[in-house]
Structure 1
Amino acid sequence: MNSKIENLDRSKVTNAVQEIYREVASNPEKGFHFPVGRISCMNLGYPAEELDALPVSAVESFAGAGYPFVADSIKSGDTVVDVGSGSGTDVLIARHKTGDKGLVYGIDFSETMNKKARENIDKSGLDGIQIRESPADNIPLEDANADVATSNGAINLVTDKDKAYGEIYRILRPGGRIQIADIVLSKPVDAASKANARLWAECIAGAEPVNTYLDLVRAAGFKDVTVIDRLDYFDRSSNESTRKTAKSLGAHAIVLIGRKD
């Protein structure tokens, strides 16, 4: 499905997404068309005590779309993979949840975000975390390596979502769980917008209608795929045009769960 998007220059999408997340990492107070930082975390449902346990510099560049940990999927001793790990907010929260014997991998294709994540890990004093630079559709881990895959507002930015979910399925062990927060739509984006790299970077053009999105997760092999939370992610955007576009498409965030047999 995603491999056949007409007139889409994937390199332009990659560059546009890379550029905006360089800014989120290096200049988080600038103001963006999507919410960022601690206020965004709180609006999405992150408990204050979880955020207080993290370096301020990890939370300031948060750019997720939901609170995937509402799924309560992570258990003590788990190996967790965060796909699109950004500045490390969810990586660090996941590591707190895995306990002393756990292991967390952060996967992100942004060099700037990965650098900031590694700095935040050092500040946290936590071990058992590895950051690896790679796109979501080419996860540099062995098959059946993880117990849980988490992701937050990242897969809508991937041009080949089928391949990304195939990779997530591949790296999970049998019985592995997913907890995914992402942007979805109530109706599809028109072809011109779908080919617009800038609109991809704004987390709208790359989003899929919710039923299409859930179907591609199931097509990757996941069972019991269920939406457990929904929220109007764009209602707090500082950009009026973004709010209007999102409203016209019914763009919103969901948190979903599923499992690998």
Structure 2
Amino acid sequence: MNIHQNEAVLAARRREFGAFLRSRREKLTPAGVGLPGGFRRRTPGLRREEVALLAGVGATWYTWLEQGRDVRASAEVLSALADALRLDAAERRHLFALSDRPPTETISQGPEQVPESLRRMLSSLSGQPAYILGRRWDVLAWNSAAVALFGDYGLLQGDARNTIHRVFTDPTHRQLLVDWESVAVTSLAMFRADSARYAGDPDFERLVTTLMRDSPEFRAWWPRQEVQRPLAGHKRLCHPHGGLMTFEYTALAVIDRTDMKLVVYTPLEDDGTDEKLKELLRLNEKA
């Protein structure tokens, strides 16, 4: 793309950005944002000056944004505009995308709820052990195949149901992982990357403190500050009833649930894993 084509693309994006701002401004009413109605309005929605006031920016500068002029808004200003225009999560992401900036993510707090649609999908994965991880890597929901492979999560409480806690402190789970050390090192690096957004969060801090106390490996490796993005790959397990089994491991982000992941273990032909899993499922149904 040459410089003239690039300028044309940027100009088109600015026009789209301005049109999007204008469309959302026109959907609002003064009463809906806590402003007095004033005199009769010739056009629907808020005035540009009112949006600028709500966002804490200059009215002229905001007008330039709507006009598609060559001005750049910082991430902080984009967030202020999104709040002023009462944008939902999808609209906020769209606003940042049009401005060619990564969106500022809202940190989730409080209890985590797994949608019923996701629970139904988990149940339908009858031949693939799968579970939902929350923001702190707590297992929030699981299917029967996951119970057959990893044990009944329903019998675990508190930190015992946390994946990183289980890797480092549960002897039974440790024996299940054939390549425990490499799995633990990789898991720790991915957990650190995920937890960065929650630095200082009391729940995360307490979990780390507990692991520092209870696991010598965690205590030795956590200060290394290693981080890693989520990976897909193979995991070898040595199940007490099924023996050696090999799975393809995949972690998928859940749309509209930024801090949730769907983790799926797909049985491979290696080591007769598929047939061994079927036998475990039959045994689990009889228990």
TM value normalised by structure 2: 0.26
Which structure has greater strand proportion? 1
Q: Which has the higher contact order (CA 8 A, sep 6+)?
A: 1
TM value normalised by structure 1: 0.28
Which structure has greater helix proportion? 2
